[in-house]
A = this chain, B = another copy of it.
Amino acid sequence: MTETFEKAASQKYILKDKFNQIRSFSEYLAKPLEVEDYVIQSMPDVSPTKWHLAHTSWFFETFVLESVKKNYKSPFPVYNYLFNSYYVQVGERWTRNRRGLLSRPTVKDVYQYRRYIDEQMNEFFETADENLLKKMKVVLEIGFNHEQQHQELMLTDLKHVFSINPMYPVYVEKEIKFNTDIAEMKWTEFNEELYTAGYDGEDFFYDNEKPVHKTYLNGFKIANRLVTNKEYIEFIEDGGYQNTPLWLSDGFAAVESENWKAPLYWEKVEGEWFNFTLNGFRKVNPAEPVVHVSFYEAEAFAHWSVARLATEFEWERASQNLENVGNFVEQNNFHPVPLHETNGKLSQMFGDVWEWTRSDYAPYPGYKVPEGAIGEYNGKFMSGQTVLRGGSCATSESHIRNTYRNFFYPNQRWQFMGIRLAKDLI
């Protein structure tokens, strides 16, 4: 065997293994569910689990199988309509907020669909030649990352579905030992510089992390750890939710219209704060990072703390030389965990909670939307949303990097979203 051939063969098996590993991880996450749990859409932002399982299959069918298999005809043509999400160039879609109104296809049907797609994909990996693999590599990698994103959504959506049920179903039982020690909040300083932002490596990246470009950073300092429930409770008890001048105007409007009094999933029971977690309904642990707050709440909290949020480039600079380790989905915590000690080091930058930045989600200088339906992945969302960085306890470790830009509307709270403080350096 020549070296090139070996490399190509190994590349093929790397892709195939990655595909099968990611596909089975989706099903692993759905293991604890009853059939009925797959069906519910508890709010428009939430999709039923069976939708996620089908939609990720539809992605490979549409962007890989239909492209590589001559005369490929889906055996389930209506699925193209039901499980397309927002790719307008790929045809009409079943309206997002009606995803929970479908009893059919059943969960069993959806697993059969997955089986079918998996077989077809494996056949493709086996038979594809080097050129075809090379050509398809980007879309395959998008497919892998896309399914990982939906794995995260499966967890956060299911959490919402369970949370509104007065029977408080438990996703995974877990004993929690309370240790209320909290690492002291310290600050890491960065001097002003002309920073080069954006992804500059050889591996997979999303188009929104490019082009690499220069951006000027004033000096800043950033907290060594996330904001905890203990600190957030102080904010609440100090009347934070009633103190209008702490809030952005749109933020206070949301407080009033949504009647926010605490993070999502918090409830006061006989004078004490409880929160609903994927491990059940339990007392709020003061040492855990606060989670399920909106950008508006993060901003108001920072204002109250006489601090601010970091911009996305400050965050990127600060994490530039850190190892990508943390409390990810692989840890099976499905919830942020306390940090009892930092040793002065910048901690919790990866995993635990997505960190709201003070940056609107906008194109980098020179950004061009890619051609075709895949181009609808990122660019068209570049208005009205806010950047979050760092991944969460529901993110796959292999999915994240320090240039990764997540984005949500500033009023959304159902993702694992939290707060890290920053300040000007003066």
Query: Which A residues have a C-beta under 8 Å from some C-beta of B?
Result: 34-40, 42, 78, 81-82, 86, 88-89, 94, 98, 100-107, 161-162, 164-167, 169, 194, 213-216, 218, 244-245, 247-251, 295-296, 299, 358-360, 362-363, 365-366, 375-376, 380-384, 386, 410, 424
Q: Determine the distance from Cα of A162 to Cα of B218 in the docked complex, in whole angstroms.
A: 49
- Which residue of the partner chain B has the closest CB to A100? B100
Is the CB–CB distance between A366 and B424 below 8 Å?
A: yes
Is the CB–CB distance between A103 and B251 below 8 Å?
A: no
Q: Determine the distance from Cα of A82 to Cα of B245 in the docked complex, in whole angstroms.
A: 21
With A106-B35, A250-B383, A383-B251 already in contact, the answer to whether A101 and B40 are too (CB < 8 A) is yes
Is the CB–CB distance between A248 and B104 below 8 Å?
A: no
Is the CB–CB distance between B248 and A166 below 8 Å?
A: no
Q: Which residues of B contact A366 (CB under 8 A)?
A: 218, 424
Contact of A165 among B39, B103, B376 (CB under 8 A): B103
- Which residue of the partner chain B has the closest CB to A314? B365
Is the CB–CB distance between A249 and B380 below 8 Å?
A: yes
A161 CB, nearest partner CB in chain B, Å? 6
Q: Determine the distance from Cα of A381 to Cα of B382 in the docked complex, in whole angstroms.
A: 19
Q: Determine the distance from Cα of A218 to Cα of B103 in the docked complex, in whole angstroms.
A: 51
Q: Which residues of B contact A194 (CB under 8 A)?
A: 194, 216
- Which residue of the partner chain B has the closest CB to A94? B166
Contact of A380 among B37, B247, B358 (CB under 8 A): B247
Given contacts A250-B383, A295-B383, 17 further A-B contacts (CB under 8 A): A35-B106, A37-B104, A39-B39, A39-B40, A40-B100, A42-B101, A94-B166, A101-B165, A103-B161, A105-B167, A213-B216, A214-B218, A249-B381, A296-B383, A358-B362, A358-B363, A360-B360
Q: Determine the distance from Cα of A106 to Cα of B37 in the docked complex, in whole angstroms.
A: 9
Q: Which residues of B contact A375 (CB under 8 A)?
A: 245
A203 CB, nearest partner CB in chain B, Å? 25
Is the CB–CB distance between B244 and A88 below 8 Å?
A: yes
> Closest 6 interchain pairs by CB?
A360-B360, A36-B103, A37-B103, A249-B380, A214-B216, A88-B244
Q: Determine the distance from Cα of A380 to Cα of B244 in the docked complex, in whole angstroms.
A: 10
Q: Which residues of B contact A34 (CB under 8 A)?
A: 103-104, 106
With A250-B384, A362-B360 already in contact, the answer to whether A169 and B245 are too (CB < 8 A) is no
Is the CB–CB distance between B36 and A104 below 8 Å?
A: yes
Is the CB–CB distance between B248 and A365 below 8 Å?
A: no
Q: Determine the distance from Cα of A165 to Cα of B105 in the docked complex, in whole angstroms.
A: 9
Best-surrounded residue of A37, A215, A384 (most CB of chain B within 10 A): A384
A286 CB, nearest partner CB in chain B, Å? 29
A206 CB, nearest partner CB in chain B, Å? 16
Contact of A169 among B104, B248, B365 (CB under 8 A): B104
Q: Which residues of B contact A382 (CB under 8 A)?
A: 248
Q: Determine the distance from Cα of A102 to Cα of B164 in the docked complex, in whole angstroms.
A: 8
Q: Determine the distance from Cα of A89 to Cα of B249 in the docked complex, in whole angstroms.
A: 13
A176 CB, nearest partner CB in chain B, Å? 22
Q: Which residues of B contact A162 (CB under 8 A)?
A: 103
Q: Determine the distance from Cα of A106 to Cα of B33 in the docked complex, in whole angstroms.
A: 11
With A250-B384, A380-B247 already in contact, the answer to whether A102 and B40 are too (CB < 8 A) is yes
Is the CB–CB distance between B35 and A365 below 8 Å?
A: no
Q: Which residues of B contact A169 (CB under 8 A)?
A: 103-104
A102 CB, nearest partner CB in chain B, Å? 6
Is the CB–CB distance between B216 and A215 below 8 Å?
A: yes
Is the CB–CB distance between B216 and A216 below 8 Å?
A: yes
Best-surrounded residue of A88, A101, A386 (most CB of chain B within 10 A): A101
Best-surrounded residue of A162, A247, A358 (most CB of chain B within 10 A): A358
Q: Which residues of B contact A42 (CB under 8 A)?
A: 101
